Structure 1
Amino acid sequence: MGTKRRRGGDGGMEENTMAILDTSCFSKSAEHLADDRLSFLEAVRSGSLVTDNASAPTNKMYKATFQILKDEKSLDLIMSSYQLLLELDKRFPRVYMSETEKSESSSPSSNLHHELVVVEEAWSPFSFGVDVISSEKQNHGKINESVDVTEFNLLIEDLSKVPDEANTSEPFRNMLLFQYLVNVLEGDFRPRNLAFLESADWIALKESLLNTILVSRKITYKGLVKDCLSSMCVLSQFSTDCSLDMKPAENGSAELAEKWRHTALALALPEVVKCTHAAVQKLLLMIIELDSSKATADLDGLTTRADGTRTPATEIILDELTYDKNILFPFFQALDKPKLKLDMIVEYLKKYMPKTSVRTRRSNGSTNDSTFGGILNSFSNGNSAKGIMKKISSEVAQLLLAQAFQAYIALPCEHSTESKEENSLQNICNDMISAFTCLKKADKHTGILPFAKEALVTAAFLLSRNS
């Protein structure tokens, strides 16, 4: 692994700042306790973020800030602690890539190289050690200052329950907590993965927080991926209809503060749901990237038997989409990464493409079944389209082709210059129109669905513009 550096701390700052919380006592009202916590958060912000040469908070201060986010019910405290933690992580990263100069013998064009830096003993919201967890349970009855693998998995499961409990502060807090944890995972994973891609440093990537979670025996890896898929679809659907009546029941005795709390929840909910959905998608993308890097490490002989094997996340997702058609449309609607969406749809449809029984010498090595153009060619053939329709419905076929086309045109404008003529933008548009013509003939009862018509109109427009 790269160089490890120890983050320094300020004992005097810690003592003075923590004293704000220590003065809290059970005789104080909830309002005063909340004021103390807000004062503590402001003291941490002033001590670590205001000046340019400020030092990072100590682990005790980090833990106290995180515990406020994890356990509080006040919207002010939840938002304040969440924002503070994000700003602290941006200012004081735990893992990062630094640029160092190479020796004089190196060529001038490459006199700088990246080095992975891991801050030793930096605080983390995750706790994976068995001994640490057992000690905390013994001293506190439950884990308050960190999140273990099981809790993280349960947090993902709870995201699918957000629509049923959206008028309370608990799901609001859990969504922000999840967003922060994913932000921590990303900050730890990105530089480690970059170190692996640049210098084949598999050990650094293996020790990432994300990989530690995925290889844990306390959870089911496939279950975690499925939970992410389910929560992603639920949040995507819910984000389009967050204008719920969040006001308290008309009982004539609601306090002004309670009304304000519900109003604040209603105003903040749409954006929080949208960002949480993006965080779930980000987590899935990181898992997929980790799968890809691990596959590369396997091919290069960098892994050992102890690293184990696991089914790639994309295969788990495709299997779920195959057996549960109800989440097919929500998932691809929710997925806003064009390259990943296009690749997954092509892989999904490949399973239903007719297999050629005879391969000539000319066809060997030149088949385009694995491209979007190849998929469209199969649908553009009347007999082939009928064969596909026996395996999947017309609605599913139209959905996938329309979503794939949407993803295709959202990719960088390289279509017109591609070496493979069948994948040029003009040919893709022509094949889209031809494919839907065959689909309409194969299933005259269904016709062309509205979202598919939008894709066809776009294809016709692009053809007319380039003609």
Structure 2
Amino acid sequence: MEGKRRKETKGIEENTLAILDTSGFGRKEISVAQHVQNLNDDRLAFLEAVRTASLVPENGTAPTSKMYQAIFQILREESSLDSIMSSYQLLKELDTRFPRVYISEKTENESASASTSPFEIVVVEDAWSPFIFGVDCPFTEKDASREKPPGSLDPSGFHLLIKDLSEMDNEGSTEESQTKLLRTMLTFQYLVYVLEGDFLPRNRAYKEKMNWSLLRESFLSMILGSRRLPCKALIKDCISVMRMCHVRCGTADDLLLSENSSKDKLESCRSAATIALPEIEKCLCTAMQKLLLMIMELDTLKETADMQGLTTRADGPRTPVPEIILDELSYNRDMLSPFLQAFHEPRWKLEIVMQYIRKYVAKPSVRTRRSNGSANDATFPDILKSFGNGSSTKSILKKISAEVAQLLLAHAFQAYLSLSLRDPSDGLHDFEENLGDCSLAEVCKSMIAAFSSLKKTNEHITILPFGKEALFTAATILSTQ
């Protein structure tokens, strides 16, 4: 039976890939001007054939590695918007239908007959992956047997993709450059989708079984552990992408919504790629945040595993992501506001902002029993009280501008509200050292007092719109208490 299924799968592979044989991927001698429509039709026909064979039937079989590779190569190399979008969507649907790693829930009888966890993790060892690992040296002609499949990415290639995105402001406004940008964005979003699909079930299984090898063997861990990948540079490029996405999305909205936009400007936005870009850029920002959050989660789990003696020297040290972000935001203040507006996850957002503020807030003269020790123990309510003191506020404003202080306080307050309204069972205890034990009403009063102190210290200060929103929220909460 198994042999029959393999034979059927081989037949499907031959039939579907035969659609591409008339044009091929690398036949440069063919005139693109003459055959571009035929090439695109071949790609779309191939994609539809794979969908029909694998997704339409209830008992459809997963595509072979060659078929997967061809779809991924279409996503990475095609210039037709139809082919790019279709290949991206098909890859995501195939990954949902045929996951590489997944959790298999046990039946009640299986759970009752064993003392193990109520599920098991399944890793499909021979599943195709867009990543290639295990080679830390550049390929040469002598390594033909080890040559990576067309379009596949090693860790340095993944970083290069992010670096290309971080430089997207330098791209022109031609339809060709916009299509290239869109293709790069969708490729990255798909890769994050793959990383997430691999990491999340492993993370769940690790927390249940405490088997560190589950996470060590994840795609994300292998990418970060590569000797060819400078992790700090990777994180900095991720920050740049988030900032640029935020700026570009705002620019696109202004262009489309402004009453003063000329008809010529609006006409220039009518190409399919340009219309699609703003929404895809928003999705790109979300995908970039997911990547950063997964790295933070992995580093947190690694730190815990290290304290429990589960790691080895092979795991290697790595600078925590919040520390890298903090250094980058401190060095380049222009990135601060766009990054904080683009980064929405409240737990890590509060952690990053708190670490930033602690660098400039002096140790309070009056310490509570909880906060005795270094200034790094200060909670968000402690920080607000420090800003509420006139002399302390003057000292802080000598180190950071009033605008930066407002941004930090407003974003920290936003994150604090999100966390304080969450269910404690949602893992809030991991970050409660930043929340303190004050009531919400006390925090709102301290927030208003902190901005009043900023205003008294600098009479010429202009309260930023985001700061006004934070003050309005604090006042509204107090009025309802």
RMSD of aligned residue pairs (Cα, Å): 3.2
Going from structure 1 to structure 2, the CA distance change for 1:425 and 1:44 (only over 3 Å counts) comes to: same
Going from structure 1 to structure 2, the CA distance change for 1:23 and 1:58 (only over 3 Å counts) comes to: same
Of the candidates 132, 157, 182, which is equivalent to residue 163 of structure 2?
157
**In structure 2, what is the equivalent of residue 463 of structure 1?**
478
Structure 1: how far apart are the matches of 2:143 and 2:252? Answer: 38
For residues 220-299 of structure 1, what are the structure 2 equivalents within 5 Å? 220-242=230-252, 263-299=271-307
Structure 1: how far apart are the matches of 2:219 and 2:371? Answer: 46
Q: Compute the displacement of 1:144 (Å).
A: 2.2
Structure 2: how far apart are the matches of 1:140 and 1:371? Answer: 53
Which consecutive unaligned segments of at least 5 residues does structure 2 have?
25-29, 257-266
Going from structure 1 to structure 2, the CA distance change for 1:35 and 1:368 (only over 3 Å counts) comes to: closer
**In structure 1, what is the equivalent of residue 335 of structure 2?**
327
**In structure 2, what is the equivalent of residue 342 of structure 1?**
350
Structure 2: how far apart are the matches of 1:402 and 1:71? Answer: 43
For residues 300-315 of structure 1, what are the structure 2 equivalents within 5 Å? 300-315=308-323
**In structure 2, what is the equivalent of residue 255 of structure 1?**
none
Q: Which amino acid letter does the alignment assign opposite residue 438 of structure 1?
A: S
- Cα deviation per residue 1:151-202 (whole Å; 9 max; x = unaligned)? 1111101112323325421111000001001111111111111111111111
Going from structure 1 to structure 2, the CA distance change for 1:147 and 1:184 (only over 3 Å counts) comes to: same
Going from structure 1 to structure 2, the CA distance change for 1:414 and 1:89 (only over 3 Å counts) comes to: closer
Q: How many residues align?
A: 446
Of the candidates 95, 101, 104, which is equivalent to residue 95 of structure 1?
101
SS at match of 1:128: coil
Please state if 1:426 is matched with 2:441: yes
**In structure 1, what is the equivalent of residue 459 of structure 2?**
444
Going from structure 1 to structure 2, the CA distance change for 1:311 and 1:378 (only over 3 Å counts) comes to: same
Structure 2: how far apart are the matches of 1:176 and 1:376? Answer: 42
**Are the counterparts in 2 of residues 372 and 423 from structure 1 also a CA contact under 8 Å?**
no
Q: Compute the displacement of 1:100 (Å).
A: 2.1
Of the candidates 133, 136, 144, which is equivalent to residue 128 of structure 1?
133
**In structure 1, what is the equivalent of residue 61 of structure 2?**
55
**In structure 2, what is the equivalent of residue 249 of structure 1?**
none
Q: Compute the displacement of 1:447 (Å).
A: 4.1
Q: Compute the displacement of 1:350 (Å).
A: 1.4
**In structure 2, what is the equivalent of residue 352 of structure 1?**
360
Structure 1: how far apart are the matches of 2:345 and 2:91? Answer: 27
**Are the counterparts in 2 of residues 103 and 111 from structure 1 also a CA contact under 8 Å?**
no
Q: Which amino acid letter does the alignment assign opposite residue 132 of structure 2?
A: S
**Are the counterparts in 1 of residues 132 and 153 from structure 2 also a CA contact under 8 Å?**
yes
**In structure 2, what is the equivalent of residue 372 of structure 1?**
380
**Are the counterparts in 1 of residues 65 and 127 from structure 2 also a CA contact under 8 Å?**
yes
Which consecutive unaligned segments of at least 5 residues does structure 1 have?
1-6, 247-258
SS at match of 1:96: strand
Q: Compute the displacement of 1:244 (Å).
A: 9.2
Deviates further, 402-411 or 22-31: 22-31
Structure 2: how far apart are the matches of 1:361 and 1:21? Answer: 71
Deviates further, 235-244 or 36-45: 235-244
Q: Compute the displacement of 1:142 (Å).
A: 8.4
Going from structure 1 to structure 2, the CA distance change for 1:64 and 1:244 (only over 3 Å counts) comes to: farther
Deviates further, 195-204 or 65-74: 195-204
Please state if 1:413 is matched with 2:428: no
Q: Compute the displacement of 1:451 (Å).
A: 2.3
**Are the counterparts in 1 of residues 69 and 149 from structure 2 also a CA contact under 8 Å?**
no
**Are the counterparts in 2 of residues 99 and 112 from structure 1 also a CA contact under 8 Å?**
no
Going from structure 1 to structure 2, the CA distance change for 1:33 and 1:101 (only over 3 Å counts) comes to: same
Structure 1: how far apart are the matches of 2:292 and 2:362? Answer: 31
The TM-score normalised by the length of structure 1 is: 0.87
Q: Compute the displacement of 1:134 (Å).
A: 4.9
Deviates further, 196-205 or 128-137: 128-137
**In structure 1, what is the equivalent of residue 20 of structure 2?**
21
Percent of matched pairs sharing the same residue? 54
Going from structure 1 to structure 2, the CA distance change for 1:102 and 1:243 (only over 3 Å counts) comes to: closer
Please state if 1:213 is matched with 2:223: yes
**Are the counterparts in 2 of residues 379 and 439 from structure 1 also a CA contact under 8 Å?**
yes
Q: Which amino acid letter does the alignment assign opposite residue 97 of structure 1?
A: I
Going from structure 1 to structure 2, the CA distance change for 1:134 and 1:183 (only over 3 Å counts) comes to: farther
Q: Which amino acid letter does the alignment assign opposite residue 189 of structure 2?
A: Q
Going from structure 1 to structure 2, the CA distance change for 1:359 and 1:407 (only over 3 Å counts) comes to: closer
Going from structure 1 to structure 2, the CA distance change for 1:136 and 1:33 (only over 3 Å counts) comes to: farther
Of the candidates 201, 206, 222, which is equivalent to residue 211 of structure 2?
201
**Are the counterparts in 1 of residues 371 and 377 from structure 2 also a CA contact under 8 Å?**
no
Please state if 1:387 is matched with 2:386: no
Q: Which amino acid letter does the alignment assign opposite residue 390 of structure 1?
A: K
**Are the counterparts in 1 of residues 132 and 152 from structure 2 also a CA contact under 8 Å?**
yes
The TM-score normalised by the length of structure 2 is: 0.85
